[in-house]
Amino acid sequence: STAVQWESKFPPTEDALMHSVILLGDIKHPATDSSMIRLLHSMLSDIQEDKTSLILLGDIVYPLGLPREDEAGFDEARADLVAILSTLQTFNGNIIILPGNHDWAKGGRDGWDHIKNEAGFVREFLGRENVFLPPGGCPGPVEVPLAGDVIAIVFDSQWWFHKYDKPGPDEGCDFEDEQGLFIQIEDIIRRNADKKIIFATHHPLFSVGNHGGHFPASRLLFPLLDINKNLYIPLPGFIYTGYRKYLGSIQDLAHPEYKIFRNTMLEVLRSYPDVIYAAGHEHNLQYLEKDSLHHIVSG
């Protein structure tokens, strides 16, 4: 494939600008903490809409996606979703919203139902089709042209990690098995190898955040700060941080199943230099260039 030469001068002049992409994930609770929404609103008010795309990288609704109206937590989840979508109502650029593990009910039994609820709410609120992607709870990948030779390839990585009911070939998903899923990913990247590709998903392949087993020194003594920033209760935090670093839950890079996902994706991407891999999951900002892969975490 032909390596894509990315513009190194930043920011480019208005005339030279081809396209801007805003990446944002893990917004947490915007109905009660509006800091991210204010930042997003500020950014959207100062751009050329015809040259801008917004990609929300999963974990849109905490903690369990959007339940049914008669389920506990619906009002709070709906309020958070309204806070986000209200900011986007007048934005006429490209919008891509993809789910994360929290949208899938934190990997629980109701996950597929909750993301279908969320997708339907987004579609109705914004009055736009093909915003919540991939459709129907399928993993994708889905190709979305952004501008010129700039495209997004959208993949729902939580589908791969999810252990309960989820759609497959019988529900119209375009693959035969999990191995076939990665073949589909490689095929869609190969067909677009001469373009500028942003591979957008939720789970990162590299991380110096908590899911990668990296914690501030304070967590060695006060591990409950991850649950509540005011819980300064001294405990042997090295047990918790060590577990996350060397064993981890299925949502941590140290977990055997996460390693399979990561190694398979890296093997696919190794043949396609200059892809931008954009993920959320962590609650921080990271950039790493490794083996020509541009890896961004924006959570």
Render pLDDT for 62-97 as a digit per residue (tens, 0 to 9): 999 999 999 999 999 999 999 999 999 999 999 999
User: What's the confidence (pLDDT) of residue 4?
Assistant: 47
Read off the pLDDT band of 45 (50, 70, 90): confident
| pLDDT above 90 for 61 | yes
CB contact at 8 A, 153 and 192: yes
pLDDT band at 299 (very low <50, low <70, confident <90, very high): confident
Q: What is the pLDDT of residues 238-294, one digit of tens each?
A: 555 665 665 678 989 899 999 999 999 999 999 998 899 999 998 899 999 988 889
The pLDDT value given to residue 191: 95
Query: pLDDT at position 3, please?
Result: 44
pTM summary value: 0.86
